[in-house]
Structure 1
C-alpha cells in the first residue's frame, strides 16, 4: 500500500481527547502544530526510518501532549493486517490458559496490540483449515500455539503457507529457534523422581497424560529414566495413562493403589490428576503423606489449596505467555527472534506437605 493510503487510514483514526481548546485531536492537528505534512506524521506512527530524529521526537511529544493515538483498525487497514495476536489452544486446564493469557497481555501492554483466543478440537476433521480461516479472517499479526496444537507440524506448515508468523510453546525443539519457547518437561520429570528417591521411596507409580501429548511423554520419560539411573525399576503395571483431568487421576490412583504391594508414592503429571489421587486415597482410608506421598505438576492454585498442600513442579506459565508474545512483536521477526535462540523456561520443584519418607 502507498504512503498516501497509509496516511488516509490514519486520518480515519478515532480522535482522542486532547489538551487543546478544541477538545479533539486529529492527525491534521498534529501535522499543523509540528509544521510538517500529514505524511510525515504517518511515517512517525509507522516507525519509518525516513524521518529525522529531531522531527520524530517533536511529533511524538506533540502526540503525547495532545492525547492523539491512531486507531488500531485504521492502522490495520493501512498495513492490510490487524493489530491482533491469536492464542490457539486445545483443551488445556482452565488455570493454564488464564495464566498464559495474563503473560501474553503483559507483553502486549502499551503496544497497540490486542489478544484474541481461539479454542479448537485437534481431534476433529478440518481443524487446521479452521485455524487458517481464523488467521486470515482476523488478519492476525501472529499466533501463539500451545500444547497440544503446538506439537502439530501440519498446523505449523499451514501457517507458514499463508504467511502468518507463529511461536510454538513445547517441551522439546520442534522448529527453528525463532518459533519456539521450550518448557523442559523431561528435566522436571527427572527432578520429581530424584526427590522421591531421596526420601527413600523405591516402590513408586506414575500417572501420565495422554500419549498423544508430547508433554506427557517427556514428563513420564524423564521420571522413568531418572529412577532407572538410581536403580529403581518402574514396571508397566505401575504406570497409568490419564487424561490430564481430575477424574482420570481418581481412576488411575484407584487402579494403582489396589496393586500388591501398594506404591508408597505417586507422581501425577499435572495437579488436577494429583487432586484425583487425593480423593482416591481418602476413599481407601489412606493418609497423605503417611501412607502415600504425592507429587504433581504445574503448581496451579489448586496445589496450595489441597490439604495437605501439594508438592509439585512449578511451571511458570505466565512467563511462557509473555515470552511467546514478546517474540512475535520483535522487530524484523524472525531474524530478531532468532538472535534470542534458546528462549525457554524451566520448571522447578516446590516442596510442600504431601511427601515424606515411606513407612517401614
Structure 2
C-alpha cells in the first residue's frame, strides 16, 4: 500500500473549490491597482457630483474597474445615497394574465430607462412570508389593492415615506372603471346586436373573486340601464362540466347571448355550445374580455373587449416617477380606454 499523502481540496461537481472562489472586487482593489486614493476612486465609481477629478483619471479608473471585474455594491450604494432605485408594486392575488402582463411589461421598460427596477409583490391569503418592503427598502410603494393600517405602519417603520395610493384615494376593484368599463361595453354590444336575454359567465377561480364580483355588478347595472334581461349569472368551468350544463340551461331559458368574464371563459362557452349542437353566433352569441391573442385564433373568432393595458402601464410608471422624483403628476389613468373588437362570435 502506497504512502498516505495529504489530500488536495476536492470540489463537489458543479461547485467551485473554496480555495478557488474569487472574492468580490472592491473600490479599494481598484485604488490599490492604480496607486490612487480610495476616496478618489470612490468618487469616480459613484459618479459623485461636485468633484473636480481630471477626465484622464476618470477614464483610468473606469478602465481598471472593468479589467478587474468590479461591480457596484448596490446595498452599500443604497445606504450611502438613501435610495434603492426600486419601485415596489403590491398586487392583489390575481393570476398573471395577458392584460396584466402587458401592463407590467410596459411600466417595467419605462422605469428601467429612468434607472429604476420594478418589483412586484403578491400578497397571498394567510401567507407567512416577510413583506418585501421590509427587505428591499423601496423608494416607492404602489398598492393596486387596499393596504391595512398595520401594513402602512410596517412600511413607515421601514423608512418608506412614499406610499401610493394614500388612504383617501384608494378604490376597490368593485368601483374602478378600469376593471368594469369593459363589462358595460359587453352588454351594450350585445344589446346593439339585438339580444335581450343575456347571461353572464364568470370564473370559478377564487383568486378572481373580487374582480368577478365587480364585473358581475357592472353587468347587472348595464342590463338594468338598457332593459336587458340578465337571466343568469354563474361561475363555469370546462373541467367539472358546469359550462356544458350552463349552456344547455341557458338555451332552454331562451338566452341568446353570453358575456364572459374573460376570453378563457368565453372560449369554453363557445366550445360547450358547439358540443351541444348550437351555432355560434346564430343560436348563442358569445363575447369575451381582454382581447388575448387566442381570441383571433379561435373558430369562430372571438369578439372581445380590448383594454389599453399599455396606456395603464405608462400611467403606472409615470405615477411612480412622480412619487420618486417629484416629476409632474400624470393625467388621470385611461380608465375608459376600452373598446369592443367585433369578430365572428357575435357578428350576425
> 1:274 — aligned with what?
266
Distance in 2 (CA, whole Å) between partners of 1:110 and 1:135 is: 22
Question: Is 1:78 aligned to 2:80, yes or no?
Answer: yes
CA spacing shift, 1:268–1:201, aligned 2, 3 Å = same
Q: 1:157 aligns with which of 130, 152, 155?
A: 152
> 2:334 — aligned with what?
344
Question: What stretches of structure 2 of length at least 5 have no aligned partner?
Answer: 1-24
Give a deviation string over 1:323-358, Cα, whole Å, max 9, x none. 22332222556x656x3362334322111221034x
> 2:12 — aligned with what?
none
SS in 2 for 1:234: strand
Q: 1:216 aligns with which of 212, 230, 235?
A: 212
> 1:296 — aligned with what?
288
Tell me how far 1:261 sits from its aligned partner. 2.0
CA spacing shift, 1:108–1:30, aligned 2, 3 Å = farther
| Number of residue equivalences | 304
Tell me how far 1:118 sits from its aligned partner. 3.4
- How do 1:55-70 residues align onto structure 2 when only pairs under 5 Å count? none
SS in 1 for 2:347: coil
> 2:187 — aligned with what?
193
CA spacing shift, 1:283–1:157, aligned 2, 3 Å = farther
> In terms of Rg, which structure is larger?
2
Contact persistence 2:134–2:155 (CA under 8 A) = no
> 2:7 — aligned with what?
none
> 1:105 — aligned with what?
108
> 1:47 — aligned with what?
none
CA spacing shift, 1:13–1:325, aligned 2, 3 Å = farther
Question: Is 1:354 aligned to 2:345, yes or no?
Answer: yes
Contact persistence 1:73–1:83 (CA under 8 A) = no
TM-score (norm: length of structure 2) = 0.68
Give a deviation string over 1:56-88, Cα, whole Å, max 9, x none. xx9xx989x989996644432323553333344
CA spacing shift, 1:293–1:175, aligned 2, 3 Å = farther
TM-score (norm: length of structure 1) = 0.66
Give a deviation string over 1:178-225, Cα, whole Å, max 9, x none. 9x9x65333322111111011100111002356974433332222222
Distance in 1 (CA, whole Å) between partners of 2:265 and 2:178 is: 20
SS in 1 for 2:113: coil
> 2:117 — aligned with what?
114
Question: What stretches of structure 1 of length at least 5 have no aligned partner?
Answer: 1-10, 17-23, 45-50
Contact persistence 1:193–1:224 (CA under 8 A) = no
